[in-house]
A and B are shown apart, each in its own frame.
Chain A
Amino acid sequence: MGTAIVKFHNVTKTYRSKDQTVTALRNINLEIKRGEIFGIIGLSGAGKSTLLRSINRLEIPQSGSIIVGDTEMTTLTGKNLRLARRKIGMIFQHFNLLSSRTVYGNIAFPLEVAGTPPAEIKKRVLELAELVGLSDKLNNYPAQLSGGQKQRVGIARALANHPEILLCDEATSALDPQTTHSILQLLRDVNRRLGLTIILITHEIQVIKEICDSVAVIKNGQIIECGPVVQLFANPRTEIAREFIRTATHDKIPENLQTLIHSNPGEGNLVRIFFQGEAAKEPVITSLIRRFNLDVNILYAKLDFIQDTPFGSLIVDLNGTDDNVQTAMAYLQELGCRIEVLNGVESTTLQSAD
C-alpha cells in the first residue's frame, strides 16, 4: 500500500431526461491507494455504479478529473482509451460472459482483443484457469456452470491482460452467501498475490467487512464518509453508516433486554461500550472494578471480527459513586472505546475522540 492509483477530483455527473435532471455524482473527491481493496457502499440509486463505471469511462462525467495511474481518463478517446481499459479489469453482477464461447474462449477473449499471439494465449488461459480453480471446466459453456463458477471465469477474464486495477460491479450480489464467501476469498487472494488494487461496489456491508481495507459510503451522489473499514465500524459518523453496521454486526439489543432498560429508567448506570482493536485486549472490566471501585454487571456481550481486528460491544450496569462512574467512562474513552449511555448519568450519547 502507498501512493494513490485512482484519484477523483471534483467529479460530477448528471443524467438529463425530458422532464428531469438526476445528479448521480456530486463533486466527488476520492483517493484510492495502490494495492488496497476499496469498497464503495450505498443503497441502490446512490450513484455507486456510476462512480465505478466512470473509472474506466463506461460512464462519462460532465466535469472533474479522474486519474488512473498517470493517465487522465476523462479526456481519453479511441485507441488510447482502449489501451487504458486493458489495464483495468472488470467483473459484473451478472457475469456478462459470452454464451457462444467456452470457458477457454471467454478467458482468451481479452487476449485476442489485445492481439496476443496464439501460443501465448493458450499458456495464459491455462494459467488463469488454474488460478481461479477451473482447469477442469475449460471446454464447458457458461450455461453449464454455476453462478460461482461463472464469476470465476469473469475474474480470470478480467485478469487476463495483467491489469493493475480490478473493478467489481456488485460482483457477489447474485450469489448465495457461501459462494459469495468463496468469491471474496478469491478476490482477497489475487489482491495479495498479485498486488492488484480492487475497487468494489456493493450494498452489502458484509462484503465490506469481509475483505475491504478502506470504504466510502455514498448517498445521493455524495461521499458522506470515507476511511479505513475498522474506523468506520468503530466510529460511524453518519446515520446511514450506523444502519449498515447494525445489519453487519447483528448488534441490535435483544428485545427482552430493551424492555428491561426501558422499564427501569434512571436506575443504575446502564452503558454500552463499543471496543475494537487494542482496547479489546485490555482487561477493561477488571480495571473498572479494581481502579474505580465499581460493581459491574454484564447484561450483554458480543464479539466480532472485521478481518483480523476484534470488534465488539458490551452492555454493562455500572454501580458506584457518580464521580467514579464519570472517571471510569473517561478512562474507557481514553482506551478508544465508544460509549453510549442507555440511561443513568446522561441521556446523550458520548462519542470517543478519534
Chain B
Amino acid sequence: MVGVSLVIATLLGLPLGVLLVITGPGHIKPHPAIHSTLSIIVNIGRSLPFIILLVAIVPFTRLVVGTSIGTLGAIVPLTVSAIPFFARLVETTLLEVDSGIIEAAQAIGATTWQIIGKVLIPEAKSGLVLGITNCAVSLISYSAMAGAVGGGGLGDLAIRYGYQRFQPDVMLATVIVLVILVQGIQSLGDWMARKLNHK
C-alpha cells in the first residue's frame, strides 16, 4: 500500500516539482501563470488533513479503482496526498541547485530538457533521495489512518485489535514495528543520500 503510493507519488510529484521550479521567477522557463496555478493546486492538496482528504475524495477513489475501501481504496488518497507533498520537497531541493551551474549549462547551449535531466536532477539527487525518504515516512504515518477505511496494514491492526479489542500486546508490537520500520527507512535513505552526495 505504502510502496505503491510512494512509487506513483514519486513519478508524478517529481515532474510537478520540476515544473514548479523552472516556471518560477528568474528560472530557466519563467511562466507566472503556470507557476501560480500549480502552486495553488499544490497548496490545496497540502492544506487538507489526510483523514479529511481520505473521505472527501471517496467518489474520485471509486472512479479510479472501483472501490473506496480496503487496501486498493486507501492507495488513491495516500497517493493524492503524497504527490503535492513530494512536489514541494522536490521544489525546495531543486531550488538549492547553484544558479551558477545552471547558467554555465545555458552558456554551453543546453536545452531546457538537458538542463533538467543533466543538471537539475543529478545535482539534486542526494536531496531528492532524502525527499523520497521523508515522503515514505509520512506515507507510513498516513497509512495508519487508512485503517479507518479498512485499508489494512499496521494501522488497521493497531486500531482493530489493539484499541477496539483491548489487546495492549498487539498495540505495543505495532508501535515497535513502526519505530523499527521508520528507523530503517530513514537510515537507508540517509545512507543512499550520502553515497550520492559528492559535494
- Interface positions of A (Cβ within 8 A of B): 56, 58, 81-86, 88, 90, 92, 94, 96-101, 109-110, 112-114, 141-143, 157, 161, 167
Q: Using known A-B contacts A96-B98, A100-B122, A100-B123, determine if residue A56 contacts B107 with beta carbons closer than 8 Å.
A: yes
A58, A81, A101: the one within 8 Å of B103 (CB): A58
Let me know if A98 and B114 touch, CB within 8 A. no
Q: Which 7 A-B pairs have the closest CB atoms?
A: A82-B109, A96-B104, A85-B109, A96-B100, A141-B198, A86-B109, A100-B122
Return A65 CB to nearest CB of chain B, in Å: 20
Which residues 79-103 in B have Cβ within 8 Å of A in the complex? Answer: 98, 100-101, 103
**A271 and B126 alpha carbons, distance in the complex (Å):** 67
Taking the nearest CB of chain A, how far is it from the CB of B99, in angstroms?
9
Q: Are A96 and B125 in contact (CB under 8 A)?
A: no
Q: State whether A99 touches B111 (Cβ < 8 A).
A: no
Q: Is the interface of A mostly helix, strand, loop or mixed?
A: mixed
Chain B residues whose CB sits within 8 angstroms of the CB of A161 once the complex forms: 108-109
State whether the Cβ of B12 lies closer than 8 Å to any Cβ in chain A: no
Contacts of B98 in A (CB 8 A): 96
Chain A neighbourhood of B100, CB < 8 A: 92, 94, 96
Known pairs A100-B125, A100-B198, A141-B198 / 5 extra A-B pairs, C-beta < 8 Å: A58-B106, A82-B109, A82-B110, A96-B101, A114-B109
User: Residue B53 at the A interface, CB < 8 A?
Assistant: no
Contact A98 B107 (CB under 8 A): no
Which residue of A is nearest B114, CB measured?
A113
Which residues of chain A come closer than 8 Å to B108, judged between CB atoms?
85-86, 90, 109-110, 113, 157, 161
Contact residue among B103, B106, B118, B125 (Cβ-Cβ distance under 8 Å from A112): B118
Is A82 within 8 A of B111, CB to CB? Answer: yes
Chain A CB within 10 Å, residue with most, of B98, B104, B105: B104
Nearest CB on A from B106, distance (A):
7
> Cβ of A141: which chain B residues have Cβ within 8 Å of it?
198
B106 engages A99 (CB within 8 Å): no
In the bound complex, residues from chain B placing their C-beta under 8 Å from that of A85 are 106-109
Report yes or no: A92 in contact with B109, Cβ–Cβ below 8 A: no
Complex Cα–Cα for A56 and B105 (A)? 12
Residues of B close to A110: CB separation below 8 A: 108-109
**Complex: chain B residue closest to A141, CB-CB:** B198
Cα A96 to Cα B106 in complex, Å, equals: 12
Q: Which of B93-147 contact A (CB under 8 A)?
A: 98, 100-101, 103-111, 114, 118-119, 122-123, 125
Which residues in B have some Cβ–Cβ distance to A below 8 Å? Answer: 98, 100-101, 103-111, 114, 118-119, 122-123, 125, 196, 198-199
Structural contact, B118 and A113, CB atoms closer than 8 A = yes
B-side contacts of A86, CB under 8 Å: 108-109
Known: A82-B111, A109-B108. A98 touches B103 (CB 8 A): no
Q: Which residues on the B side are within 8 Å of A82 (C-beta)?
A: 109-111
CA distance A113 to B101 in the complex (A): 14
CB distance from B74 to the nearest CB of A (A): 36
Q: Are A99 and B123 in contact (CB under 8 A)?
A: yes
Contact of B109 among A96, A100, A113 (CB under 8 A): A113
Q: A99 with B199: in contact, given A92-B100, A94-B100, A109-B118 (CB under 8 Å)?
A: yes
Q: What separation, in Å, do the CA atoms of A142 and B108 have in the docked complex?
A: 18
Partner of A90, one of B107, B111, B122, B125: B107
The residues of A that contact B125 with a CB separation of less than 8 Å are 100
**A98 partner, pick from B109, B111, B122, B196, beta carbons under 8 A:** B122
B85 shortest CB reach to chain A, Å: 25
- State whether B106 touches A98 (Cβ < 8 A): no
Contact assessment for B198 and A99 in the assembled complex, using a CB-CB cutoff below 8 Å: yes
Docked pose: A92 CA to B101 CA in angstroms: 10
**Cβ contacts under 8 Å, A142 to chain B:** 198
What's the Cα separation between A83 and B103 when bound, in Å? Answer: 16
- Least Cβ–Cβ distance between B107 and chain A, in angstroms: 4
Which residue of chain A has the shortest Cβ distance to B111 in the bound complex? A82
Decide if B122 touches A58 in the complex (CB within 8 Å).
no
Known contacts A112-B118, A141-B198, A143-B198; A97 and B101 CB within 8 A of each other? yes
Nearest-CB distance from A174 to chain B (Å)?
A: 12
User: Counting chain B CB atoms within 10 Å of each CB, which of A83, A97, A113, A141 scores highest?
Assistant: A113
Residues of B contacting A84 in the complex (Cβ-Cβ under 8 angstroms): 109
Contact B109 A83 (CB under 8 A): yes
Given contacts A92-B100, A96-B98, A98-B123, contact A143 B107 (CB under 8 A): no
Say whether, besides A82-B109, A85-B107, A113-B108, A98 and B199 are in contact (CB < 8 Å): no
